[in-house]
Amino acid sequence: MRFEDIAEGTELPELVFPVTASAIAVGAIATNDYETVHHDKAAAEATGVPNIFMNILTTNGLVQRFVGAWAGPEARVRKIRIKLGAPNFAGDTMRINGTVSRVDPATGEVDVAVFGRNGIGEHVGATVTLHFPERSAA
Amino acid sequence: MNEPSDLYTQALAWLGKEATRPVEARDPVNVPMIRRWCEAMGEENPIYVDAAAAAAQGFAGPVSPPAMLEVWTMARFRHTGRSAEDSIPALVLFDEAGYSGVVATNIEQEYDRYLVEGDRVSYTAVIDEISPEKRTGLGIGHFVTIRYEFTDQNGEPVGRMLFRVLKFKPNLAQPAAAAPEAPAEFSHPRPAVTHDNAHYWEGIARRELLIQQCSSCGHMRHPPGPGCPKCQSLEWRAVKASGRGKLHSFVVVHQPRIPSLQYPLPVLLVELEEGVRLIANGLDLPEADITIGMPLQLDWVEIEPGYVLPAFRAAEV
């Protein structure tokens, strides 16, 4: 993706992510998060929820992957801000969509607004700020 | 005039203080951990695992995915559970007060540079913000925000993070009815506790009379409800009433008689000095002594062991 080709309102290709129990547990361990509610169903149920659910660092990683796959290896990630809502419980599916919300030619920065929705509501709302270095050097 | 709850006051003492001891990553930035992370996320950008691809982008070696910033400093797994030295005392305070649930709600990360293979990350963490009690879908609780500053092996800043968690009471405990073996043939009525009024009844159990105040326009309201009747805001805080008020209106009930109550029963509409009105029973108030406008003082009546209700008596003058 070249900075010159990005316009506000551009929509990113949707990512459909199956929230399997394996994906939740593997994501939790890969982010060094050993809280039992992310890998032990009985422990999750004991806290009053129906199943294990995705940890926030995995959501953070999926948001980066989603925007990065569209932006390409030239883009640098400057900021990721995420806010969680409906949990990603095992067995659900999350659909991630994104829209370019800001393009700043002066700084070479681009903001992408990201929304991840699952079967029970909005799991995540995020803003990712990218920087395209060759543009700011020009 | 109005004081926040004791727990909230205690929690606020943590503001600006270190949330945990400073932490240094146990491992330097390394490709095996990055590869495992990329596989978990489905991340396919080669600069994170391949030296040549990273060099093509001007990096000295494979770089850490930015979103892995905190991953490098996460606490180790322990078979016996989280150790005291890994815990955050400000959150333990809420655990001990019954707010045992925890859920992470926000991360805001900012990266100064990409971490390269071999970098070693450290952080310091400070308690940045603690919200008043909030009603959420999970239960009532407090949001606690922790600010992390990340540095590299040379002490240079590499990024920072705001991390917000909700500490909440997972279940709405309904006041227990009188034990079946209790002699009362008709137990005293109990309130129906809902998400909208749980903070109120939990305050009552602590002998604190809590009023809702709109966070947007400052309007005080009672009885408890989810939204502000003046400005429709859903944000609010609980403030502790002084307990002083005056009599706005009243009735004295003679009939019908509920077996567990005592008659004649003065039922008062009290105007609190905070500006809201609430209904409560009168204490030691013979009908002849009751006059509209009389000053009243809050008191507590233990109906049954562990079941307390607010009531009002004539204020000392």
Task: Give the separation between CA A91 and CA A53, rounded to whole angstroms.
Answer: 10
Measured between alpha carbons, how far is A71 from A131 in angstroms, rounded to an integer?
10
The interface pTM score, or ipTM, of the predicted complex is 0.96
Q: Is the Cβ pair A79, B109 closer than 8 Å?
A: yes
pLDDT mean over B166-172: 78
Same domain, B126 and B216: no
Task: Let me know whether B24 and B136 are in one domain.
Answer: yes
- The answer to whether residues B54 and B147 belong to one domain is yes
- Whether B65 maps to a domain, the answer reads yes
My answer on whether B258 and B114 are in the same domain is no
Structural domain span for residue B280:
198-314
Same domain, B226 and B147: no
Q: CATH number, domain at B160?
A: 3.10.129.10
Which chain B residue has its CA at the smallest distance from A30's CA?
B37
- CATH at A45: 3.10.129.10
Mean pLDDT over the full length of chain B: 90
Mean pLDDT comparison of A20-24, A42-46, B178-182, highest-scoring range:
A20-24
Residue B181: inside a domain, yes or no? no
Instruction: Please tell me the distance in Å from B93's CA to the nearest CA on chain A.
Output: 19
In a domain, B25, yes or no: yes
Q: For residue B3, list its beta bridge partners.
A: B240
The total number of structural domains that make up chain A: 1
- pLDDT score of B184: 47
pLDDT single digits (tens) A60-100 = 999 999 999 999 999 999 999 999 999 999 999 999 999 99
Q: Which of B66, B75, B105 sits opposite A84 (nearest CB)?
A: B105
Does B75 share its domain with B210?
A: no
Q: How does residue B177 score in pLDDT terms, banded at 50, 70 and 90?
A: low
B98 to chain A, any CB pair closer than 8 A? The answer is no
H or E element that contains B91: helix B89-96
Please identify, among B168, B188, B219, the residue that sits at the C-terminal boundary of a domain: B168
Which of the four pLDDT bands, split at 50, 70 and 90, describes residue A137? Answer: very low
- The whole-number pLDDT of residue B4 equals 58
Q: Residue B3: its pLDDT value, please?
A: 53
Does residue B185 fall inside a structural domain? no
A94 to chain B: which residues are within 8 Å by CB? none
**Same-domain status, B147 and B34:** yes
Read off the pLDDT of each residue in B78-84 and give the average, rounded to a whole number: 82
Of the residues B112, B147, B168, the one at which a domain ends: B168
Confidence (pLDDT) at B176:
57
Residue B2's pLDDT is 45
B142 lies in the same domain as B232: no
Contact: A68, B45; criterion CB under 8 Å: yes
- Residue B19, in any domain of the structure: yes
Mean pLDDT on B34-45: 98
Residue A5 has pLDDT above 70, yes or no: yes
Number of structural domains in chain B = 2
Band of residue A135 on the pLDDT scale cut at 50, 70, 90: very low
Percent of chain B with pLDDT over 70: 94
Whether B143 and B74 share a structural domain: yes
Contact list in A for residue B71 (CB cut-off 8 A) is 30-32, 57
- Across the range B115-132, mean pLDDT stands at 97
Q: What is the pLDDT of residues B238-247, one digit of tens each?
A: 999 999 999 9
Please tell me if residue A1 touches chain B, with a CB cutoff of 8 Å.
Answer: no
What pLDDT band is residue B174 in, cutting at 50, 70 and 90?
low
Contact B111 A33 (CB under 8 A): no
With contacts defined as CB-CB under 8 Å, which chain A residues touch B107? 56-57, 60, 80-82
List the structure tokens of A111. 């903001």
Angle at which helices A21-30 and B31-41 pack, to 10 degrees? Answer: 150
Residue B171 pLDDT: 60
Size of interface A-B (CB pairs under 8 A): 103
Chain A window 3-22: which residues touch B at a Cβ cutoff of 8 Å? 17
Res B192: pLDDT: 85
Q: Is A77 close to B105, i.e. CB distance below 8 A?
A: no
Residue of B nearest to A25 (CA): B40
B189 against B204, higher pLDDT: B204
Is A76 an interface residue toward B (CB < 8 Å)?
A: yes
* Over residues A19-38, mean pLDDT: 96
| Same-domain status, B10 and B158 | yes
Which chain B residue lies closest to A123 (C-alpha atoms)? Answer: B105
Predicted confidence at residue A136, as pLDDT, reads: 40
Using DSSP's 3-state secondary structure scheme, residue A35 falls into coil
Residue of B nearest to A16 (CA): B42
| B39 within a domain of the structure (yes/no) | yes
**Candidates B42, B46, B109; nearest CB to A65:** B42
B44: in domain: yes
Residue B244: inside a domain: yes
Task: Give me B232's structure tokens.
Answer: 């429709």
| CB contact at 8 A, B74 and B86 | no
Q: What average pLDDT does this structure show over B299-305?
A: 88
Q: Do the chains contact at B107 and A60, CB–CB below 8 Å?
A: yes
Q: What is the reported pLDDT for B281?
A: 95
C-alpha span between B270 and A32 (Å, rounded): 55
Judge whether B52 is closer than 8 Å to chain A, CB to CB.
Answer: no
Bridge partners of B249, per DSSP, are B269
Among B23-32, B73-82, B181-190, the range scoring the smallest mean pLDDT is B181-190
Whole-number CA gyration radius for chain A: 17
A32/B171 touch (CB, cutoff 8 Å), yes or no: no
Does residue B39 sit at the A interface (CB-CB below 8 Å)? yes
Domain assignment of residue A90, given as a range = 3-137
Q: In the predicted model, is pLDDT for residue B221 greater than 70?
A: yes
Provide the residue type at A38 as one letter.
Answer: H
Residues B81 and B152 in one domain: yes
Which residues fall within 8 angstroms of residue B225, CB to CB, at 6 or more apart? B196, B212
pLDDT at A128 over 70: yes
Q: What is the CATH number of the domain that holds B211?
A: 2.40.50.840
Q: What is the dihedral of CA B176, B177, B179, B184, to 10 degrees?
A: 150
d(CA A40, CA B160) in angstroms, rounded, equals 31
Stretch B59-84: mean pLDDT, rounded? Answer: 93
Please report the residues numbered 77 through 136 in chain A whose beta carbons come closer than 8 angstroms to any beta carbon of chain B: 77-84, 87
> Looking at the structure, do residues B137 and B231 belong to the same domain, yes or no?
no
**Minimal-distance CA residue of chain B relative to A45:** B170
- The string of pLDDT tens digits covering residues B277-292 is 999 999 999 999 999 9
pLDDT of the residue at A138: 40
A31 reaches B (C-beta below 8 A): yes
Report in angstroms the alpha-carbon separations of B244 from B210, B219, B293, B297.
13, 19, 12, 5
Over the stretch B259-278, which tens digit does the pLDDT of each residue have?
778 889 999 999 999 999 99
Question: Which of A26, A48, A61 lies at the smallest CB-CB distance from B67?
Answer: A61
- Residue B168 pairs with which residues in a beta bridge? B101, B141
